[in-house]
Structure formats: structure tokens, C-alpha cells
């Protein structure tokens, strides 16, 4: 009998030297866009949290991973091949959108690096959702499948080169383009960005209960 939490790798897409997407069998596992899973190589005691990158209606599971120098799990997973097995715990978490807001809410998604993963899942799961996505990276080659998003809904903020849509950090963009107080804001990425954006949104009149955060690193 197959272990319920064991899934098979379908494919691995390499986006940059460090970033890659693992696609694996879903096996009927239910999740809500914005949730994360604990993922590790089958048989290993080591795992790590990754937001689900795929949509609620996809027949597979995907996660976006960036290999880090001291990251045992990200290095292990990068070496796997189609047909290899991984183990999943979850899905977990409450970084989700209330169903009643999906059709008529206005959203701002703010990500740094691989923090874009839950927003990819939101946009795939709810294609009609009214959102603007700010993605902060160092260089434009870290845009991570930018073409998935409608051009008018995705702004790439680059701090290290001028090849993005906006030269500077996501915080600088928000300072120059104030957020309407009726916006529901979702922040995912590094702690410093989340802290700064939370303060900015508060100054711009966005109620704290409309700001949701998921810290990645």
C-alpha cells in the first residue's frame, strides 16, 4: 500500500542557476491558494516549508524553490529527477483569500524573490481576481515566469539593474504610488520588506486588518 504522503516528481523546470520549479503528482490532495506544504526527499527526516505555486484546479502540485548556500533541502531537491519520490506534509496555513472577496475585492500582492509563489497560485486559481502584483528582485532575470501574469497587473521592481518595470525596491514603488484604503494587501517575502510595507500601508490609510503577511526568510 502506497504511503499517502509520498508523491512522484513529474518534471523540474530550471528558471535560473538557483531557482527551479518542481512539478509532482497531486494524488487528490486538497489545498487553498496561499497555503504551504512541508516538502522533502522521500525517506529523509529533513523538509522545508514551500508555498504551493500551482492553482487549486491543476491536476498536479508545483512549488518554486531557490537553492541557498546553506540550504540542505533545496540542494537535495534540486538533484532529483522525474520519477523520484518526495514526501509532503500539509497543506497548512491561513495566507488565503476569503471566498466572498474573490469576485469583488481589490488586491495588492507584494512579493520579494520566491515569495511570489502564493500569488502565482492566487492568479491561477482565481483568474478573474482584481489584483496588482509588485515583485521585488535584485535583477530582472529573477522575474520567475513573468509572462504568466497580464502585463498591466505585474510590476517588476529591480534594485540591481534597470531591466525591470520600476528601478528600485517595492517600498519605493508604494511610496510613489499610494495604495487606496479599500485594498486588501498580501505581503510575502523577507521580514524587512514586510515590516516596511506594513508601516507604509498604515501611513497611507489601509486598515491593519486588510494587510496579511507570510514571512519567507
Paired strand residues for 86: 7, 41
Q: Which among 109, 72, 107 has a CA at the least distance from the CA of 188? A: 109
Is pLDDT of 185 > 90?
A: yes
Answer for the pair 61, 25: CB distance below 8 angstroms, yes or no: yes
Is pLDDT of 163 > 50?
A: yes
> What confidence tens digit (pLDDT) does each residue in 51-85 have?
999 999 999 999 999 999 988 999 999 999 999 99
pTM given for the model: 0.96
Answer for the pair 64, 120: CB distance below 8 angstroms, yes or no: yes
**Average of per-residue pLDDT across 110-130:** 97
* Predicted confidence band of residue 1 (pLDDT cuts 50, 70, 90): very low
> What confidence tens digit (pLDDT) does each residue in 8-43 have?
999 999 999 999 999 999 999 999 999 999 999 999
According to the model, what pLDDT value does residue 217 have?
64
Q: 154-158 and 19-25: which strand pairing?
A: unpaired
- Residue 110, SS3 per DSSP: strand
The rounded distance, in Å, linking the Cα atoms of 216 and 31 is 19
According to the model, what pLDDT value does residue 2 have?
55
> What confidence tens digit (pLDDT) does each residue in 149-158 have?
999 999 999 9
Q: 6-14 and 85-92: which strand pairing?
A: antiparallel
Listed in sequence order, the DSSP H helices in 40-158 are 72-78, 99-102, 117-125
Q: State the average pLDDT for the chain.
A: 96
Amino acid at each position: 500500500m502506497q504511503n499517502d504522503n509520498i508523491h512522484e516528481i513529474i518534471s523540474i523546470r530550471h528558471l535560473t542557476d538557483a531557482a527551479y520549479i518542481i512539478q509532482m503528482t497531486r494524488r487528490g490532495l486538497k489545498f487553498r491558494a496561499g497555503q504551504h506544504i512541508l516538502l522533502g526527499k522521500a525517506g529523509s527526516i529533513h523538509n522545508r516549508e514551500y508555498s504551493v505555486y500551482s492553482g487549486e484546479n491543476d491536476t498536479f502540485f508545483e512549488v518554486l524553490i531557490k537553492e541557498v548556500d546553506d540550504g540542505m533541502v533545496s540542494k537535495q531537491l534540486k538533484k532529483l529527477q522525474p520519477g523520484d519520490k518526495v514526501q509532503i506534509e500539509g497543506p497548512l496555513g491561513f495566507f488565503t483569500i476569503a471566498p466572498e472577496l474573490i469576485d469583488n475585492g481589490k488586491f495588492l500582492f507584494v512579493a520579494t524573490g520566491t515569495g511570489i509563489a502564493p500569488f502565482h497560485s492566487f492568479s491561477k486559481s482565481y483568474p478573474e481576481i482584481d489584483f496588482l502584483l509588485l515583485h521585488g528582485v535584485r535583477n530582472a532575470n529573477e522575474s520567475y515566469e513573468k509572462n504568466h501574469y497580464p502585463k498591466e497587473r505585474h510590476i517588476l521592481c529591480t534594485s540591481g539593474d534597470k531591466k525591470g518595470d520600476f528601478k528600485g525596491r517595492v517600498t519605493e514603488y508604494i511610496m510613489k504610488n499610494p495604495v487606496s484604503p479599500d485594498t486588501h494587501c498580501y505581503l510575502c517575502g523577507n521580514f524587512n520588506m514586510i515590516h516596511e510595507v506594513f508601516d507604509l500601508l498604515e501611513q497611507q490609510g489601509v486598515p491593519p486588518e486588510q494587510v496579511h503577511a507570510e514571512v519567507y526568510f
